[in-house]
Each structure stands twice: as C-alpha cells, then as structure tokens.
Amino acid sequence: MTENTDISTDKTPKPVLNFIQEIIENDIRNNKNDARVHTRFPPEPNGYLHIGHAKSICLNFGLANKYNGKCNLRFDDTNPVKEDVEYVDSIMEDVRWLGFDWEDRLFYASDYFEQIYEFACQLIQKGKAYICDLSAEEISNLRGTTTQAGTESPYRNRTIEESLDLFHRMRAGEFAEGSHVLRAKIDMASPNMHMRDPILYRIIHTEHHRTGNKWCIYPMYDFAHGQSDSLERITHSICTLEFEVHRPLYDWFIRELEIYAPQQIEFARLNLSYTVMSKRKLLELVKNNYVNGWDDPRMPTICGLRRAGYTPESIRNFAETIGVARRDNIIDVALLEHCIREDLNKKAARVMTVMNPLKVIITNYPENQTEELDAINNPEDASMGTRKVPFSREIYIEREDFMEDAPKKYFRLAPGKEVRLRYAYYITCNDVIKDPETNEIIELHCTLDPLTKGGSSPDGRKVQGTIHWVSIQHAQQIQVNLYERLFTKENPEDLAEGEDFKINLNSNSLNVIKAYAEPYLGQNSVSGSKFQFERIGYFCADYNSTNHSPIFNRTVTLKDSWSKMQKS
C-alpha cells in the first residue's frame, strides 16, 4: 500500500512541454540566472512582418508570459541601406495587434552603437581583431571552401596600434566605402566558415534612420546581435535554425569580451505551403506590383492577413497548434485557414449575399408587398441575436442554385422542384424564361407556399435543399474581392535551374465581382467587420481613403480541407 503515498504516482496528466519549455523549466529548477526568464523579439526593420515572424513573436512573448518573465522588442537596425522608419512603425503596430506588449522595453541595436564600437576596440587591443584592406571580392576569394582552408589576409598581422588608428579614422570618415573593414582574428582553417576571420565592421556612408549621420561605420549583424542580447541580459535568445552555425562565433565574442552570456536556442523557421516567406521575395512582389502593397490580402504579411480578415486569436492559435520543431518542415496553409474558420465561425455574423444573380419572380406574391422575416445572426452564439430580412416578390438567387436538367441528386432548384428559401418560404419552380436570342436563362417564375413562412411546413413536408437569396428592391450592391492563394504550386520555391519563383504566381488570385447583399450588411459594417456570407465564405469589410462604401475581401471559403484531411 505504500506506493499510493508516493507523490510520483500522481495521475494528473502533466501538460506536454515543447523542447524550449523543457530547457527553460530546467534552468528555472537550477536557479540559472536567478530563475529569470527574459526573451526578446529582434526584427530587422527592412520589411513588413510575416506569419513566420508571428510565430516567433508568439513564441517569445508567450514564453515570457508563461514563466512570469519579460520580453523585449528590439530592432536590429545595423544596416541603414535597407532599413526605414516605415518598417519600424509597421512592426510595432503588428506586434501590438497580435496582442503583445513590450511595456517600456523598446530597444534598438543602434542605441548600442557606441558600446559595440567599444567592444570592437577591446578586441583590437587584445590582438583579436584587425583592419583589413582587401576588397570584398578578395576577402571572399581567400575564404576557402567547406573542404579547403582559407588563406590569411596579408593585413592580419598588422600591429595593434596601426589597426586601432585605422579604426578610429574609419569612424572619422576618412575612408571610402569598401576600402577597409574590421575583421576578427580567429582561424582561417576553421571547418566553420563563420569563424574564418569574419567581418565585424564595414564603412557605409549612408544616413541611418535613427542615428542620422553620426556614424559611417556600422557593425555587422553578427557582431551586434549577440552583444545586444548580452547588454539586455536576455536569458534565452531564441532564433531560427540557420543561426546554429553562427553560435560558436557569438560564443567567441562573449568569451573574448568577458560579458554576460545569454543562451541561444534554435528552432525551425515556419514554412507554409503555397507561400513564400522571405522578406526579399515579398519586397520584390510589392516593388514590381505583382500585389497591391505589403498589406495586399494575398500576402503572408501580418498586415495582409489582417486586411484579409484574419484575427489575432486565429494567428495565435495557429502558432500554438504548430508548436516548435527542431527540424525544417513545411506546414500546410490549410491549417492556417482552418484556424481562421474556427474563430470566425464563433464570431462572424451571417448574412445572405448573392454573387452571381438569377432573378426569381414569386408569381403568387403581391406586387407591392414586402415583409420582414426573422433570421439568426449566428447559430453558434445565441447572444448575437436575430435580425430582420426583407422579402418581396422579386428576389435574386445564385445562378448555380438552379439547374434546368438536374440530375437526381441535385437538391437545389429545378423545374417542378420545391426548395426552401432560407428563413422565408418553400418555393416551387414553374417556368424558366429564356432570352429568345441567346437562349440564356434570364428569370424563373416560382410560387411560394404561404403556410411555410419562416422555412418550415406545418404538414411536415420536407424539402431537401435550402438556398440563400436577397430581395432585389432592398438589395445593396457591393464590391467583392474574391482572393485565391497567391501561388499555384505547393512549394513555389521548388524550381528548376534558372527558373524564378514568380513563374508559380497564380494569375487568377484576384477576381473582383459585383454582388448583392441584404441591407443588414451595409448597416452593420465598419472597417474590419467580419461576416459569413452564407454558403459562400468569410469576408472582411475593407474601407480606405478612396472607397467610401466598403469592399468585401474574401478571407476564406467555407470548405475546410484541413478538417477533411484529419477525418479521412
């Protein structure tokens, strides 16, 4: 009976930890860094954030929240040529929108330029860094290959005094770009290419978005990132896998400078099917007008997803669901779409809209009569209430909800068949009116059964189909942007020699149409309002300075290919 008193037999299931949480909990148990947890999200302000960054944001801020720690926002702004305040502002907006708060901990690597310059001087003084006068091309040629050692620079053994003097003069602006660089003196034969006397500083005569013209030498990302983490006393410096091979270099800097050592932990970056994620490629799409800006709803950027109708909750939930991995993989974009469907299913008001109208005349309904029928705003959430939908003699239904020669299994409208008009009446189709010249169907004549008002029959008679509709005289015409995925190929970057990823762009990724909506939609949409257009998909109202009535962007269709895959 003794085993029952052993607390280790406690049956309550422990939540499963991911490998980063395991490392952190272990560190807390060992009282490492006084059990502090301090992370950071360190974007370079050279583009807009994308869904991959969202994963990193959720991870870093999420860990800080979970372990009662802190998370900094730090801009790694070491390259003035590519960076801009436009990006800084958008990044702050996106992090906040995702629901995270850096409180008073907003930092910039450029705030540390003086300190990082000091670090560089220290390395020179220790004989661990030198000024090299080789050109970028010469440096690259002498680097060797993964199988062959590199060749030492002829400037490698220049005196400490000479290097220090040259470094001061580089800072003073005496030299042209490319004429000198500062390099670490490590090991040109190291099997790790990053250890082969990497460049620490280069001359760039470009104004910086924060430091203006104060500097004309800038630290390389590799020489700024780790030291910035150290200065901020970051405990767990979480980054993507490609930085694993940089870790020995970061550790070397920390050791040589004898400063506080954060622990770097690498995880697999998020890749999504049917998507490209690199900022360079996204910038190319924007610059060459393949899309309408960084916030085009087809873009995987956070601002693009927002305009498409994605919610912060759905993105956080997606990040949580995919978790963190140690090996590269590709996540199915259908999972992201599944996450937004789940969220909008709970939140979005339903409305009836007709995308491709076919006129229906209810011949036994009086010409001047209208009535208001009750409709449920969201069957998932009774608190969202009901609304009135106007009904009259002439309505639109979807063209694809009618077939003249319908097969047996077709449950929508056909000659002689009865269907339910959602929230209205049962109607039966009696006549099909065609254009005598083109033979195109132009209208249907139907009759309704007045006893079926509200959509059910007192005699228990069943109909198999329910279709949506709008009253023509009450309908509001709206512009709808039907977005599809931006790429046709699951992996747009899987290319043959000489091919460009843009060949995989979907030429049909945007269809603009005019649709008809019940009045409730126009009366209840502000910018960003989300709706389910019944039987069609989720849509988000998008106003901007040029359109005064909203455009509705399609977020996703209703067909959930992710759920289907999980069930089969």
Please list the active-site residues.
44, 269, 279
DSSP bridge pairs for 492: none
Compare residues 53 and 420 and give the one whose CB is closer to ligand ATP. Answer: 53
To the nearest whole angstrom, how small is the minimum distance from the Cβ of residue 283 to ligand ATP?
9
Given the complex with ligand ATP, which of 271 and 479 has the nearer CB atom? 271
- Tokens 């030498």 belong to 217
Which residue, among 358, 361, 359, 357, has the nearest Cα to 447 in the 3D structure? 361
Q: Strand, coil or helix: what is 188?
A: coil
Beta strand residue intervals within 287-329, DSSP E? none
**Using an 8 Å Cβ cutoff, are 219 and 80 in contact?**
no
Residue number with CB closer to ligand ATP (277 or 441): 277
Site for ligand ATP, residues 273 to 302, rule: CB under 6 A: 277-279
**Is 52 one of the binding residues for ligand ATP (CB under 6 A)?**
yes
In angstroms, give the least distance from the CB of 242 to ligand ATP: 8
- 53 belongs to the binding site for ligand ATP (CB under 6 A): yes
Using CB under 6 A, which of the segments 9-17, 40-48, 107-115, 125-133 binds ligand ATP? Answer: 40-48
Considering only 27, 33, 44, 423, the residue that binds ligand ATP (CB under 6 A) is: 44
CB of 379 to ligand ATP, least distance (A): 36
Q: Is residue 18 near ligand ATP by the rule CB under 6 A?
A: no
Q: Rule CB under 6 A: say whether 239 interacts with ligand ATP.
A: yes
Part in contact with ligand ATP (CB under 6 A); list of ranges 14-22, 112-120, 270-278, 404-412: 270-278
Quote the longest CA-to-CA distance of the chain. 102
CB atoms within 10 A of CB 298: 25
Among 32, 128, 194, 269, binds ligand ATP (CB under 6 A): 269
Q: Residue with the closest Cβ to ligand ATP? A: 52
- Closest distance between ligand ATP and the C-beta of residue 52, in Å? 2
Helices (H), 43-149: 51-66, 85-97, 113-125, 136-141
Distance CA 164, CA 173 (A): 14
Burial of 307 (0-12, 13-18, 19+ CB in 10 A): buried
Q: Which stretch binds ligand ATP (CB under 6 A): 37-45, 109-117, 370-378, 490-498?
A: 37-45
Contact by Cβ (8 Å): 171, 216 = yes
Token output for 146:
């993964």
Q: What SS3 class is residue 510? A: strand
CA distance 24 to 256: 26
Q: Which CB atom, from 43 or from 69, has the smaller least distance to ligand ATP? A: 43
d(CA 467, CA 534): 9
Kindly state the smallest distance separating residue 240's Cβ from ligand ATP, in Å: 4
Candidate residues 24, 33, 38, 56; the one interacting with ligand ATP per rule CB under 6 A = 56
- The Cα–Cα gap between 534 and 517 comes to 11
Which of residues 24, 38, 42, 224 is near ligand ATP by CB under 6 A? 42
Minimum CB distance to ligand ATP smaller for 121 or for 335: 335
Give the position of tokens 């932990």: 265
Pattern 151-170, binding to ligand ATP, x per CB under 6 A?
--------------------
| C-alpha to C-alpha distances, 465 to 352, 395, 469, nearest whole angstrom | 16, 17, 13
Residues at the contact surface with ligand ATP, assessed by CB under 6 A: 42-44, 52-53, 55-56, 239-240, 269-270, 277-279
